[in-house]
Structure 1
Amino acid sequence: MPARALMFVGTGSDVGKSLIVAGLCRLCANRGLRVRPFKPQNMSNNAAVTADGGEIGRAQALQARAARVPLSVHMNPVLLKPQSETGAQVIVQGRMIETSGARAFQSKKRSLMPAVLESFEHLKADADIVLVEGAGSASEINLRANDIANLGFARTADVPVILIGDIDRGGVIASLVGTKHVLDAADAQMIQGFIVNKMRGDPTLFADGMTAITYLTGWPALGLVPFFNEARRLPPEDALALDERRAPTGKPVIAVLAYPRISNFDDFDPLRLDTSVDLQILRSGEPIPGDARLVILPGSKSTIADLNSLRDFGWDVDLAAHIRRGGHVLGVCGGYQMLGTAIHDPDGIEGNPATVAGLGYIDIETRMSGDKKLIEISGQLSAQPVPFDGYEMHVGESTGPGLERPLLEITGGRPDGAIDASGRISGCYVHGLFSNDRMRAHWLQRIGIEADSSAAFNYEHDVDATLDAFAEHLAQHIDIEQLLSLAK
């Protein structure tokens, strides 16, 4: 029997499409269905390495985990990774094909529809149902002509659509009804129902609102989903989540430097959830706290540009003071490259061709060249048997005397990273270190933090438990039988 499919689009960005698809993937998987997530086009610098040797958006990685299936490049055939305000790397079926400006991409993206449809059919061949996530807002009629991400895909692939609105931001009636008003009739006809997400308070107070939306659009109401506070325990997709401000906890501080092109920021999600520490994500204008135990330089989509931003923000001065006080520093991927003595990008792989001086804390130089390395790996610390599972996702090769003191040993004996002579400054190319509970505990001990007994949690188990809880949450508030009956 051929797989059925159902698409979820939004009235805008951040209405909860990714999370609802993840929850429905887990719900379907728990019912014994072979379910696959699919997003035709995504824009994110938070990516994951797939089992078939490419990369996809982190949201689709979470959805695949919810579906209990390996990651595949076909789950997100077009991925845009911004490098500037108007330009991005274009990743097709897991591999970069070019760097394109926003206007140029709009004119050529329709040519990517064959690859999108090929990936969609690939997933359908091994599934009972494919749950498709749209991108941004479905009502951006100014971009409709070449659309491959929302109703352009739905019409071409003949996939029924569910529209999601966010009541938490206000104006949900206008956003849902307005979407019906601006869409052309054929697009609007693809929409088979709507869901209102993130309801706070008494849901009966919005019963008349649900009725009004149905009356004004003709679309049936499929569910009013209360705000799911535990969603914060799942890895975020969007860097906007890093702007969430939290009150100081009085716990030891770990600071992450969120430069403008930060990537793979979910590396630090386990630390965010660990109540032993106060993880502070710093933006422009925020100094490195004087009491920070550890400062992390994360990955970057454009390492030289972000190193320049780091200096512009004054963090180089703060970092020097932090090190003089005896603080620890960890660089991950692009952050590791910044800790070296120089970065060379003669071919302009990550921007304009340039050579810049690094921060000079580790005796290595990096040259941006060659294909991007995309690989899942495991290993342990070089100095002791503390394990990790992670992945590499980077361009460039680092060389120099600093590599004689590696931080990690990859399974098979390959060294990775470096540690300075003091033992307090280190870096590596491996993402995902802190997801391993033993590795995370080691780093906390390394910087003098005693684990909080209440924080002794299994991060990976916590993610799965949260997905199960959210699936049950959706089952209680969405008419699942009616929803699944709409798939075709």
Structure 2
Amino acid sequence: MTARAIMIQGTGSNVGKSMLVAGLCRAGLRRGLSVAPFKPQNMSNNAAVTEDGGEIGRAQALQALACGRAPSVHMNPVLLKPESDTGAQVVVQGRAVSRLEARDFGGARGALLAPVLDSFAVLAQTADLIIVEGAGSPAETNLRRGDIANMGFARAAGVPVVLAGDIDRGGVIAQIVGTHAVLDPQDGAMVAGFLVNKFRGEVALFDDGYSDIAARTGWRGFGVLPWFDRAHLLPAEDAVDLGRSTGDGAFHIACPMLSRIANFDDLDPLAAEPGVRLSMIPPGRPLPGDADLVILPGTKSTRGDLAFLRAQGWDVDLAGHLRRGGKVLGICGGYQMLGTRIDDPEGLEGAPGGEAGLGLLEVQTLMARDKTLTRVTARHLATDTALSGYEIHIGRTAGPDTARAFAQVGTAFDGAQSRDGQVAGTYLHGLFADDRFRAAWLAQMGSAAAPQAYGQSVEDTLDALAAHMERHLDVSALLDAARPVGPNKS
């Protein structure tokens, strides 16, 4: 099988590259093609677990779904998971291999190109078409040397580029023309054209601007894509998309936005429930007093985000919430915070040490070097309901409250619950995507909920996205610009 490939790069972060790639993947699938997504380098704490026990960016898992195939570690061979403002865990082909400070990453990137190209070659044996997603912007000239995420990869793999600009943030002409101006000529030669994303209003009003971009760059345009109103129904990867409340249901769930929040797409199925109101609480705001449930989400830095939580006064808010009869659920890192103590003697998530947890569950966590990465089927004990999900964490948690486990996984048990039933914790991610479990769990929590077909809703939204792109972009010409996979000979 000889695959062809095309790459979507952006004029900046959060211009909609992930959504564009997902839509093109589904469009290709609807045309009868075997399609695969690929992102050479991603930076995200929102990760998915593959069937072979590796981890990739959540966006690539969604794009795999758009392609109708299982996620693979080769779809995102380099994943950077920020643990602090200056340091990140480096995951290569699904496995954590090191921790790097930002100042050291530039020198390490060159060695990562080999596994990136290896994974790209593996995918090329399985698909007719590969849709590649860049990261950030190729206009960041200070990052060009050793680049593996944008033009460095495009040149090495011989993949043509379509540059996407975001008109919603303003200045899209300057975004695209400015990128053209700063690109090295050989990098610029990789650009097959441009498109404009997130347009609101009458598209014809931008005709002159669109023509001006084409005239100033010499690039062909593939169209202007109007705002896709259903984008919020797809799982988000970037935490910048989280600052909102969703729904107006009677059952109110609040979730504090931790500084290293991870795997927050756990909450998407809850946000889609008609009987639920989900509030994401940003720093500087108290947890709402009318919340029925507070969910402490996953985090890439449990001790760091525990300190962050306390600095916001959310620990005091949690105590008040429980006095009013509210309930608390901790997921993964949030579960670890609920215990009486967290110890990290090897400094796996920062400086070595340990400290007291929130003390809401009688459990203690010891950070361990081995990382648990597995997809699981389990049974929620309180509702006797089957569920599926995945684990992605370091650390082992034990203590008296684990005798009241959250779920049974095979012959083992997961999580814990307080004696009064108000506080529970689990290591299981993705559990709320299971429709039957979500309905049973919400009913147990006191919410009147009927099973909603969340998975089908995502599939329907991907189909609608592909149709939206087919209506407004020249998708045929864009896909025709894809080249056969192979090293660039220019």
Match of residue 298 from structure 2: 299
Match of residue 462 from structure 1: 457
Structure-1 separation of matches of 2:157 and 2:422: 54
Structure-2 separation of matches of 1:430 and 1:119: 28
Match of residue 262 from structure 1: 261
Match of residue 338 from structure 1: 337
Match of residue 380 from structure 1: 379
Alignment of 1:110-149 (within 5 A): 110-149=110-149
Return the offset for 1:484.
1.2
Alignment of 1:231-270 (within 5 A): 231-244=231-244, 249=248, 251-270=250-269
Asked if 1:60 is matched to 2:60, the reply is yes
Which residue of 397, 403, 414 corresponds with 1:416?
414
The runs of 4+ residues in structure 1 deviating greater than 2 Å are 248-252
The residue identity in structure 2 corresponding to 1:424 is Q
Return the offset for 1:250.
6.7
Equivalent position SS for 2:162: strand
Return the offset for 1:372.
0.7
Match of residue 349 from structure 1: 348
Structure-2 separation of matches of 1:269 and 1:215: 42
Structure-1 separation of matches of 2:464 and 2:90: 35
Equivalent position SS for 2:378: strand
Equivalent position SS for 2:131: strand
Equivalent position SS for 1:145: coil
> Is the contact between residue 249 and residue 274 of structure 2 (CA under 8 Å) also seen in structure 1?
no
Equivalent position SS for 1:214: helix
Asked if 1:48 is matched to 2:48, the reply is yes
Structure-1 separation of matches of 2:147 and 2:121: 19
Alignment of 1:273-352 (within 5 A): 273-352=272-351
- Tell which deviates more after alignment, 110-119 or 379-388: 379-388
The residue identity in structure 1 corresponding to 2:443 is Q
Return the offset for 1:128.
0.4
Asked if 1:434 is matched to 2:432, the reply is yes
1:96-119 Cα distance to aligned partner (Å, 9 max, x none): 111111110012111110010000
- Tell which deviates more after alignment, 473-482 or 344-353: 473-482
The residue identity in structure 2 corresponding to 1:419 is Q
Structure-1 separation of matches of 2:195 and 2:411: 51
The residue identity in structure 2 corresponding to 1:49 is V
Match of residue 487 from structure 2: none
Alignment of 1:156-305 (within 5 A): 156-244=156-244, 249=248, 251-305=250-304
Return the offset for 1:404.
0.8
Asked if 1:82 is matched to 2:82, the reply is yes
- Tell which deviates more after alignment, 125-134 or 437-446: 437-446
Equivalent position SS for 1:372: strand
The residue identity in structure 2 corresponding to 1:386 is T
The residue identity in structure 2 corresponding to 1:324 is R
Return the offset for 1:450.
1.7
Q: Supply the RMSD in Å over aligned alpha carbons.
A: 1.2
Structure-2 separation of matches of 1:303 and 1:182: 40
Which residue of 442, 461, 483 corresponds with 2:478?
483
Structure-1 separation of matches of 2:250 and 2:209: 44
Structure-2 separation of matches of 1:266 and 1:272: 10
Structure-2 separation of matches of 1:242 and 1:479: 31
Match of residue 449 from structure 1: 447
How high is the TM-score relative to the length of structure 1? Answer: 0.97
Match of residue 11 from structure 2: 11
Structure-2 separation of matches of 1:385 and 1:245: 31
Return the offset for 1:207.
1.3
1:423-474 Cα distance to aligned partner (Å, 9 max, x none): 12100100011111222222322222223x7xx5311110000000000111
- Tell which deviates more after alignment, 12-21 or 476-485: 476-485
Return the offset for 1:86.
1.1
Match of residue 91 from structure 2: 91
The residue identity in structure 2 corresponding to 1:229 is D
The residue identity in structure 2 corresponding to 1:444 is L
Aligned pair count? 483
Return the offset for 1:245.
5.5
1:278-336 Cα distance to aligned partner (Å, 9 max, x none): 10111212111111100011111000111111111111111111111111110000111
Q: Alpha carbons of 1:371 and 1:62: their partners in 2 closer, same or farther (altered >3 Å)?
A: same
Equivalent position SS for 2:289: coil
Equivalent position SS for 2:350: coil
Structure-2 separation of matches of 1:250 and 1:231: 21
The residue identity in structure 1 corresponding to 2:241 is A
Structure-1 separation of matches of 2:266 and 2:248: 21
Equivalent position SS for 1:292: coil
Segments of 5+ residues of structure 1 without an aligned counterpart are: none
Structure-2 separation of matches of 1:210 and 1:140: 23
Match of residue 369 from structure 1: 368
Return the offset for 1:347.
0.2
Equivalent position SS for 1:286: coil
The residue identity in structure 2 corresponding to 1:436 is D
How high is the TM-score relative to the length of structure 2? Answer: 0.97
> Is the contact between residue 383 and residue 444 of structure 2 (CA under 8 Å) also seen in structure 1?
no
